Amino acid sequence: MRPSGWHSYLRSGDEKPRITRNLLKRVMAYAGAYRSHLVGMLLLIMATSGLSLLSPLIVRDLIDRTIPAKDTQRLLYLSLALLALPALKGAMRVVERRLNTTVGEGVIFDLRSALFSKFQQMPLSFFTHTKVGEMTSRLNNDVIGAQNAISNTIVNMLTDLVQAVAVFIVMATIEWRLTLISVVILPLFILAARALGGRLRDAARQQMEANSGMNALINETLNIGGALLVKLFGQQSTESDLFRERAGKVRDLGIARAVYGSVFFVIIGLLSAVGTALVYGFGGYQVILERLTIGTIVALGSYLGMLYSSLQSLANAPVEFSTSVVSFERVFEVLDLPVEIEEKENAIDLKDIAGQIHFEHVWFEYDDDPKDLLNEVRRFGSDNDSRVGIADDEIPDMGAEDEHPASQARKTALRDIDFLIPSGQLTALVGPSGAGKTTITYLIPRLYDPTRGRILIDGHDLRDVTLKSLSDQIGMVTQETYMFHDSIYANLLFARPDASQTEIIEAAQAANIHDFISDLPDKYKTVVGERGYRLSGGEKQRIALARVILKDPRILILDEATSNLDSQSEALIQEALKRVMAGRTSLVIAHRLSTILAADQILVLNRGKIAEHGTHQELLDIKGIYANLYQTQFR
């Protein structure tokens, strides 16, 4: 069993939510968007609270006056009033509920939209270090918890406060001595809330974090890639045991939270019983002495239940609010993450470009320990949640990177990369695995920014152009083709949502995939499955090529790996590539000799540097790294 690291997040339960003025202003800003709904709810709350005060007065009148006087007409009117009041209050509560739900669902929508948009702005490095389950947890559990603060907690606090004040005033006008006795126990409510409120809040925080860890495991192991890996290595029982451990933590924390809540409400209930006993005891004695009527005691008893119910809710409100604030903190943590790949305010649009690409002394270093991540990633990071744990002192010291020239492992991915690709020409990247080829292709569409140096397209620094116009000019086919769990038609349409059916078919024909699609039972409506796993590697690559053709970019970036393809698929792809690259500036990570021979220039990378460059024959004549690769790999 691998270490799960739950002790780490359990310690985090000691953290207290920092309810600052700025935090409250941000929380209330989301409520401000629904100001009219909240005002309407407040008016309805005051109206229903006022109607609730009438019932005990009617009952007192029935007991003390109407029934002893045998006034049947008054009895009829009061009975009808007792029937009409709940009906009227019910109608008001339906309207109030609609307003409340509109606010709650609106806040959920606003928060989810803001979170999803923020995730879309994050750099690729964020997604390589962040678990999908953690992001899902923020979009689901935390958003719902956050909206609870606005649509439920704040509304309930207002309702209880209005009702408690109104009931107290009415009780004081009826019998001030009994009213004072009833509120004597109020400090005990506050003490109980402070004693157990902190534990309830911490249990809620820990349960959120436990849910995040469980969601992360679900997303890792139940996607098609994770499921395949688990089955191939026969680790089903191990993964089930780990899931049981994480789900068990969620269960245990849920039980603890429920127990703390039950104890809290039991204590509050006992305190209410003390107050009720005092009021009825003293009030009953006053009735015996004929200083009070029975109807007055009954009315005060009804008001007492309403008062203690409101006080009980008010005592619990700070706990509920601080629990909801934990969710807001986790949502704001995402919204406050800095955007690494930013667009300048005065960025220009790339239009009608020729497609010249120039790398000027580019250096790049991957950040192995990024700071701008979600807290859960650190909490459930490699130290605590690794599938195969190994301590730092157990890793053998292999020395500095420069002492092992045969290895491609290094801290700096690219070193002083300087080259020019003229518009319309084909440049091939070759070199050992890990030499930096893919990193170069990721820098052109600004998936990352260079650590030093700059990259220009037609003389424009990539940092000076808009991200959308840059994306429009670049078409990229990666080695691992990703497809949505949708139809082939929808996956193609993703490249250009306004494309016509004719344009889609023409793109598929150019990519040599139309005939295959036409032979399928559902043709273009065929669902490709999770990540396109219902298709072969060659079929996915040709659909990816069709998607790029439909986009019609000026610059083409390809990782043309075909090691997993049969000869027929490879031949179809090669033919399609000739059509795709015609007239475009192309940068290709070359895995086949035909592409190398067709290249206008070849860049040979080794350990993050351009070791050699030239044409195929020029590099063979040098008899260096390329000549060796040619003999061992391409021939």
pLDDT at residue 359, as a whole number:
92
> What are the tens digits of pLDDT across the range 301-357?
888 888 877 877 777 677 677 767 777 777 887 887 777 778 788 888 888 888 889
The mean per-residue pLDDT over the stretch 276-287 comes to 80
Task: Rounding to the nearest 10 degrees, give the CA dihedral for residues 306, 310, 315, 317.
Answer: 150
Please give the angle made by the CA atoms of 27, 30 and 35, to the nearest 5 degrees.
120
pLDDT band at 182 (very low <50, low <70, confident <90, very high): confident
3-state helix, strand, coil in the chain (%, to 5): 65, 10, 25
User: Is a pLDDT exceeding 50 seen at residue 392?
Assistant: no
* Least-confidence region, from 150-159, 392-401, 504-513, 561-570: 392-401
The mean per-residue pLDDT over the stretch 540-547 comes to 84
pLDDT at residue 99, as a whole number:
86
* Least-confidence region, from 171-180, 184-193, 244-253, 436-445: 184-193
Domain 6-335 carries which CATH code?
A: 1.20.1560.10
* Strand, helix or coil for residue 576: helix
User: Is a pLDDT exceeding 50 seen at residue 207?
Assistant: yes
User: Is a pLDDT exceeding 60 seen at residue 393?
Assistant: no
Hey, what CATH class is 357-365+411-634 in? Answer: alpha beta
pLDDT at residue 370, as a whole number:
58
User: Is a pLDDT exceeding 60 seen at residue 598?
Assistant: yes
Highest mean predicted confidence (pLDDT) among 214-228, 325-339, 589-603: 589-603
The mean per-residue pLDDT over the stretch 608-618 comes to 87
Residue located via tokens 């990519």: 511
pLDDT band at 517 (very low <50, low <70, confident <90, very high): confident
Question: What is the spatial distance between Cα 460 and Cα 458, in angstroms, rounded to a whole number?
Answer: 6
Measured N-to-C along each axis, helices 186-221 and 294-335 cross at an angle, to the nearest 10 degrees, of 40
Cβ-count burial 426-435 (b if 16+ within 10 Å, e if not): bbbbbbbebb
pLDDT at residue 402, as a whole number:
45
The mean pLDDT of the chain is 77
pLDDT at residue 540, as a whole number:
81
* Least-confidence region, from 5-14, 140-149, 192-201: 5-14
Highest mean predicted confidence (pLDDT) among 70-84, 106-120, 230-244, 325-339: 70-84
* Least-confidence region, from 314-323, 375-384, 426-435, 506-515: 375-384
pLDDT at residue 198, as a whole number:
66
Question: What is the spatial distance between Cα 362 and Cα 359, in angstroms, rounded to a whole number?
Answer: 6
Q: Strands 555-559 and 474-477: what pairing?
A: parallel
Percent of the chain residues past pLDDT 90, beyond the cut: 2
CB neighbour list of residue 488: distance below 8 Å, 6 or more residues apart: 517, 520, 524, 525, 526, 528, 543
The residues of the chain that CATH labels 1.20.1560.10 are 6-335
pLDDT at residue 223, as a whole number:
67
How far is CA 147 from each of CA 31, 141, 326, 337, rounded to the nearest angstrom?
A: 9, 10, 11, 21
Length of the chain (residues)? 635
The mean per-residue pLDDT over the stretch 248-277 comes to 78
CB neighbour list of residue 133: distance below 8 Å, 6 or more residues apart: 212, 213, 214, 215, 216, 217, 218, 219, 220
The mean per-residue pLDDT over the stretch 507-532 comes to 81
Q: What is 609-635 written as a DSSP string?
A: EEEEEE-HHHHHHHTSHHHHHIIIII-
Highest mean predicted confidence (pLDDT) among 73-87, 186-200, 282-296, 479-493: 73-87
User: Is a pLDDT exceeding 70 seen at residue 508?
Assistant: yes
* Least-confidence region, from 209-218, 410-419, 529-538: 529-538
Percent of the chain residues past pLDDT 70, beyond the cut: 83
Check if the beta carbon of residue 442 is closer than 8 Å to that of residue 429. no
pLDDT band at 386 (very low <50, low <70, confident <90, very high): very low
pLDDT at residue 1, as a whole number:
36
The mean per-residue pLDDT over the stretch 109-114 comes to 84
pLDDT at residue 42, as a whole number:
83
CB atoms inside a 10 Å sphere around CB 549: 24
Sheet-wide strand order for 555-559: 474-477, 555-559, 585-589, 426-430, 601-606, 609-614
